[in-house]
Structure formats: structure tokens, C-alpha cells
């Protein structure tokens, strides 16, 4: 599956996964940040059904609908990829990337986007080292979660040390690179949004207007 040495990737597809319960401005900002840095040909949003967490507050269909609203403005256009929520069994990122690689072929640059908090837990993911054989990573800071190597688990820091690359290199490499972005200064979580809705406080700074309207119209996160 490796791209031949010296051959640039034919296309770049950025991937943003998560439970998105609900999608918030931080998720959108992460997608926008790497859309600007990588100039991908496609942005795929991958809502998950996280089997190891408590029950979600919105259905799969509702979460997908909110994602479509939140990312409607994106360039390139965002695609909501339902493969994980349509799967009856527990899903893992490495399996999703294997399926995408088989679908898109060996010459496409796949870049999986995440926040620095997820990078700190990367060594707890199933077959986490295999991720680099399938995709590159685009990682952005969050307040309180910097990207200094000394803050990372030693195994993760060691794995990343030879993989750091510029956005241009990541965009033209099929897999195996890591782009670190220090410019995402947004500290929002989905639990913040759910708490604001439940308490009846203003959530306009946490989610965009269309998503908030959807939440209110469907009476989500009230209990």
C-alpha cells in the first residue's frame, strides 16, 4: 500500500472523527484549521458510536444531521461518512482507516485530525502504531493541552520524533507523517454544550446557530 518512493500523493483526504454529541465550535475550528493548512481535496466527518462511553444524548441520525449543519459552509465541502455509526459491532480507528485505505487506494494522502488531548492518549488506542502505516496525523493544541514532547507518553513521543513534517509534506505523503498546529485556541467540549442546554444558559458561543436551533427543536440534552 505504500506510495512509491518520491511519488507525491494523488489526492488528500482529511478525516475528522468523534462522537459529536453534539458537534461544537471547537470541532468546526479544527476542521477549518487543517482545511487551511492542508488544502485537502475532501474533508470526511466520521461520527462514531463510542461503545466504551455512557449512552449518547442524541441518536445517530440526529448527530449526523447536526454535523451536516455545522460543516455546511466548508471548503472543500464536507462529507458525513456514516460507516462507523452504521456498523453493528464496536469500531476502532485503525479498522476504519484500513477500510478507507482499501476504498481509496494506496496513492491518496489520508490525514486523521485530532486535538492534543487525544494525542496524549494515543498509546491506549487499539493497534495505535499501525495508524501510521495507514494515514498521517494532523494534531492541534487545546488550552491546557500543549504539544511539547515532554508532556507526551514516552512511546508516543518516540514514535512521533521522526515523523514531524510541514503541512505541504503531509499533504503529499500517503501516510506516516505528523503535522502539529499550535494555533487552535478554543477550549470547548460536548459536555459543556450539554450542560449549558440542560441548565438553560446561553450556548451560542459553544455551537453555531443552526446546530443550536436543531437541538432546541428536537428537545435534545434536556435531561
* Cα radius of gyration rounded to whole Å, the chain: 17
> What are 52's three cell numbers?
466504551
In a domain, 3, yes or no: no
Exposure b/e, 90-122, CB count within 10 A at least 16 = b: ebbbbbbbbebbeebeeebbbbbbbbbebbbeb
In a domain, 90, yes or no: yes
What integer pLDDT is reported at residue 54 of this predicted model?
Answer: 67
In a domain, 1, yes or no: no
Q: How many domains in the chain?
A: 1
CATH number of the domain residue 126 falls in = 3.40.50.620
What integer pLDDT is reported at residue 88 of this predicted model?
Answer: 79
> What are 12's three cell numbers?
488528500
In a domain, 222, yes or no: no
* Strand ranges for the chain from DSSP E: 11-18, 42-47, 78-80, 108-115, 136-140, 178-181
Domain that holds residue 182: 11-217
In a domain, 186, yes or no: yes
What integer pLDDT is reported at residue 187 of this predicted model?
Answer: 84
In a domain, 5, yes or no: no
In a domain, 141, yes or no: yes
Q: What is the pLDDT along the chain (223 residues), one digit of tens a residue?
A: 444 445 677 799 999 999 999 999 999 999 999 999 999 999 999 999 876 666 899 999 999 999 999 999 999 999 999 999 999 788 899 999 999 999 999 999 999 999 998 999 999 999 999 999 999 999 998 777 677 788 899 999 999 999 999 999 999 999 999 999 988 878 899 999 999 999 999 999 999 999 999 999 999 999 7
In a domain, 4, yes or no: no
Phi and psi (nearest 5°) for 63? -65, -40
What integer pLDDT is reported at residue 148 of this predicted model?
Answer: 79
Round to whole Å and give the CA distance between 13 and 25. Answer: 21
Amino acid at each position: 500500500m505504500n506510495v512509491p518512493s518520491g511519488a507525491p500523493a494523488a489526492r488528500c483526504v482529511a478525516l475528522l472523527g468523534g462522537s459529536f454529541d453534539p458537534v461544537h465550535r471547537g470541532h468546526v475550528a479544527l476542521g477549518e484549521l487543517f482545511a487551511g493548512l492542508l488544502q485537502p481535496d475532501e474533508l470526511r466527518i466520521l461520527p462514531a458510536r463510542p461503545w466504551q462511553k455512557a449512552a449518547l444524548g442524541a441518536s445517530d441520525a440526529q448527530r449526523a444531521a447536526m454535523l451536516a449543519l455545522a460543516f455546511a459552509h466548508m471548503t472543500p465541502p464536507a462529507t458525513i461518512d456514516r460507516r462507523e455509526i452504521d456498523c453493528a459491532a464496536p469500531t476502532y480507528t485503525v479498522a476504519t482507516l484500513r477500510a478507507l485505505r482499501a476504498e481509496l487506494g494506496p496513492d491518496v494522502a489520508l490525514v486523521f485530525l485530532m486535538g492534543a488531548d487525544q494525542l496524549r492518549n494515543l498509546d491506549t488506542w487499539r493497534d495505535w502504531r499501525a495508524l501510521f502505516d495507514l494515514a498521517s496525523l494532523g494534531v492541534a493544541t487545546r488550552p491546557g493541552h500543549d504539544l511539547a514532547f515532554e508532556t507526551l507518553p514516552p512511546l508516543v513521543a518516540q514514535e512521533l520524533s521522526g515523523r514531524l513534517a510541514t503541512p505541504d509534506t503531509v499533504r503529499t505523503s500517503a501516510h506516516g507523517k505528523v503535522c502539529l498546529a499550535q494555533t487552535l485556541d478554543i477550549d470547548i467540549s460536548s459536555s459543556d454544550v450539554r450542560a449549558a442546554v440542560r441548565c438553560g444558559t446561553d450556548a451560542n458561543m459553544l455551537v453555531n446557530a443552526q446546530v443550536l436551533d436543531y437541538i432546541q427543536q428536537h428537545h435534545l440534552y434536556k435531561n
